[in-house]
Amino acid sequence: MSRVRRLVVVMLFDGVDLLDVTGPPEVFALLGRETDGETGYEVALAAATLDPVTTSAGVRLLPDLTFAEVSRRAVDTLLVPGSVDSDEQGRVRAVTDPDLVDWVKTLAGRARRIASVCVGAHLLAAAGLLDGKRATTHWSTARQLAAEHPAVKVDADPVYIRDGRVWTGAGVTACLDLSLALVAEDFGEAVALRVARQLVMYLKRPGGQSQFSVPLEPVSPTRRMAELRHFVTEHLAGPLTIADLARHAHVSERQLTRIFKTELGTTPAAYIEAARVEAARNRLETTDDTLDRIASGCGFGTTDTLIRAFRRTLDTTPTEYRTRFRHSG
């Protein structure tokens, strides 16, 4: 078998998430082990200068190349990780530096394939690379991405999305799923499966590649929405209806629907179901309660209703979810 070395460039900058940078190279390195070094990737870390870069975890990394040097080379895959900041209330927002966005534009023109990791999707969007495309990011910043870049079709659920030559990945450990998908595209699923086994993970996650996260928190919650969310949480076990919420907020049902659409981008009914699924997930992860008891305690009424809600929102069953994510309290 002839040697194939595909140049993968990972962009570095101060404050970058450490796992976003180090996770994909681990996957690519294991490919060489599974193929006796005959096929694989050449991974290079690139930054504005060759000075050490301090990640969000405080770990310093040394770049191999400068962005200017990369701009003169042919790149197989450009990996764009991300960075977040939080305000005094703990709200998380993706960071997009204008100079970095300019380099993303430049280097993307040298690459056969571009992939963002976690909130790196915000950098791709700011560079105009996601306009008209379907994309994902970490669920905590998905609403920010949609608000700041209306031309992007944001889907916060999948672990990764491919649209043409552009790939976007979800948050944190999803960088491994994305990297495995890139390996599968380049060298076949059989090889990618062997790499996945070395990582002690699935080649494809159960649950329809879902992040298994329901983003229930608005970006900038108003007092009214905060009270409504609290009311929903406190009354999940009962027959909670849109009429109940409207009476609590002292508005009409039609006005309530507009409030949810404006502040959360969803309907009251969808929010209530999402909140109930979230509560059920927590109990599946941390208790040994029966499905009947969970269904009753979270407001689903019957086990069948619980199962349908899980299939609809997470594309899995409560039993499958518990098997994968159960942990002690």
Q: Under DSSP, is residue 276 helix (H, G, I), strand (E, B) or coil?
A: helix
166-169 and 160-163: which strand pairing? antiparallel
Q: Under DSSP, is residue 270 helix (H, G, I), strand (E, B) or coil?
A: helix
Active-site residue, selected from the candidate residues 118, 228, 277, 291:
118
Q: Is the dihedral of CA 107, 111, 115, 121 positive or negative?
A: positive
> Which residues contact residue 109 at a Cβ distance below 8 angstroms, ignoring those fewer than 6 apart?
none
Among 80, 43, 46, CA closest to 168: 80
Q: Specify whether the CB–CB gap between 195 and 27 falls below 8 A.
A: yes
DSSP states along 146-194: HHH-TTSEE-SSBSEEEETTEEEE-STTHHHHHHHHHHHHHH-HHHHHH
Q: Residue 266: how many CA atoms within 13 Å on its side-chain side? A: 16
Locate the DSSP E strands across 4-126.
Answer: 4-11, 39-47, 53-54, 60-61, 65-66, 75-80, 84-86, 92-94, 111-116
Locate the DSSP E strands across 48-169.
Answer: 53-54, 60-61, 65-66, 75-80, 84-86, 92-94, 111-116, 134-135, 153-154, 160-163, 166-169
Catalytic residue status for 118 = yes
Q: What are residue 111's phi and psi, to 5 degrees?
A: -105, 145
Whole-angstrom Cα distance, residue 146 to residue 5? 36
Catalytic residues: 118
